[in-house]
Structure 1
Amino acid sequence: MPATERKELLTLRDLLRYAVTRFSAAKLAFGHGTDNAWDEAVYLTLHTLHLPPDTLEPFLDARILPSERERVLSVIDRRVQERVPAAYLTQEAWLRGHRFYVDKRVIVPRSPIAELLESGLSPWVDHPDDVSRALDMCTGSGCLAILAALAFPYAQVDAVDTSEDALAVARCNVEDYGLQERLTLHRSDLFSALPKAAYDVIVCNPPYVNATSMDALPAEFRHEPSLALAGGTDGMDLVRRILAAAPDYLSERGVLVLEIGHEHAHFAAAFPGLEPVWLETEAQGDPILLLTREQLLS
């Protein structure tokens, strides 16, 4: 945009209208915290101007300083030209009202398992206070492990990832929430280096994107670590290993909550004898399943 035209953007409303036009014209892909151009524009603009993320109306017609305008336009330019997810531009992601630090070392937190943890996995967990141990496998940024620690206030929580880069990000978030005494990070290839324990709850958002879908991912998703997304030819490579090992790490009453995204058909083909409970969330139909230890053993 020529400098003379930039000067015509005088208010927050002007910047938002301009951002929506740019995002729509560029046909950006969303899905890292927002699902449309307007919400993305509002989030990025308010964050860049250090305004409350949930307060827009009072500021819509506020005049923007030239330096503020340039900062916002720079973020808009990067979002369009580089197709960088908004969370990487702001180095934060929000999940069920909780803020987490993120950068390109981890995928952007968005798992609907967070919604289920918010209700303490009711009715599958009778009393959240009775959960003594919980595990987040493939923890990434640590977001689900932290939400599990908040949902189960008396539980010791373990969080596992094979990536030291991801664990470094998770460590920042664990410290931000002051959970160092209850939440332990482990570097392990799934269960291989994890000390034996009996968990009442295991949650897992593993890499599950099948090879064909990986090849078709929009540019925004290609900024995320492929290690955290790619699940092999049918998306089930790690899921097979997780389901095989999980019974040895579940208490008698323990449950495994597993996200598989859009891979329902591949899961059914890979595990024809399993009949999991499919857990519905606000955002999606049936990307999350629940299995008991007894089911996994059978």
Structure 2
Amino acid sequence: MDSIEHGYTCILNVDKNIDGIEGEHLPGKTDEHVRRIESHDQALVNIPPAICNIFINIEEIDLNRCLIEKIDNDSFKGCKKLKSLKLERNQISQIDENAFIQNPDLEYIELWSNQLTTLPENVFISQQKLQYLAIDSNRIVSLPSNVFKPLKSLKTINLSSNRISALNPEWFETLYGLENLYLHFNQIEELPEGIFTHLSQLTQFSMYSNRLRVIHSNSFGYHPNLQFAWLQMNQIEAIDERFILNTSVSEISMNLNVCAHGTIVDTTRSRTRMRMALRFCFENFENLEADSLKQLLIDRIQSPRINV
């Protein structure tokens, strides 16, 4: 199959035990012309090494629902021009640390709906061109601190539908160009101070269906490009008003929270509708801050107890 969108594509019926791949090309085409490999709904278990051994100019691999269990260090060895990798809806539970080391041109990786619980710390060491990473719908509880550090070009990361309860600020430390961050359907209870302050290009932030109770402005800082914040189905009872004033957010979804309910849309600079709809959340935050300050002062001036 030859198309403008994908280039010359081979749709494979691959036996997991074969050393080679048999078939016929379109007239005038050879193995070197193949730019895309597609294979769905097959019992491969492992990624056939023949793919990268035979199709040396391959740019896109799509192996969907193939019961793949592991990505090892040799899985994509030889696919040095690979740009797009789609391995969703498999059974991948392990990725070796050097699995993508020979694929520096990767721009797009989909690993959603697998069985990953974590990733090796240096698995993306060569992926400075990666723009899109989807590892949602896995079983991830935590990740190494520096796992995303090499991803200087990343624009979208999807970590939703995992089992994450705490965010590590180091995950996002170098993602200066990030535009879309999806963290919904996890078990996150709080946003650490300063965690998103440097993500000035952030446009969409999805955090619905977690366990958030308070939104602090110092988690975000000044965000001139943020447009959409999806916070529904949390337990939010207080929001710092500066979160609204320091961003350009035009739509906030607050359905099924404690202090507000509904989707609030307001593009005016004054944020009139948002400030009215979230007034109870703001007042709760002011009371929370006042109580915290009061307790801090009490702790500071309280006389030490002397035992005699």
Question: What's the TM-score, normalizing by structure 1?
Answer: 0.30
Q: In proportion to residue count, which structure has more helix? A: 1
| Larger-Rg structure | 2
Question: What's the TM-score, normalizing by structure 2?
Answer: 0.29
Of structures 1 and 2, the one scoring higher in RCO (CA 8 A, sep 6+) is 1
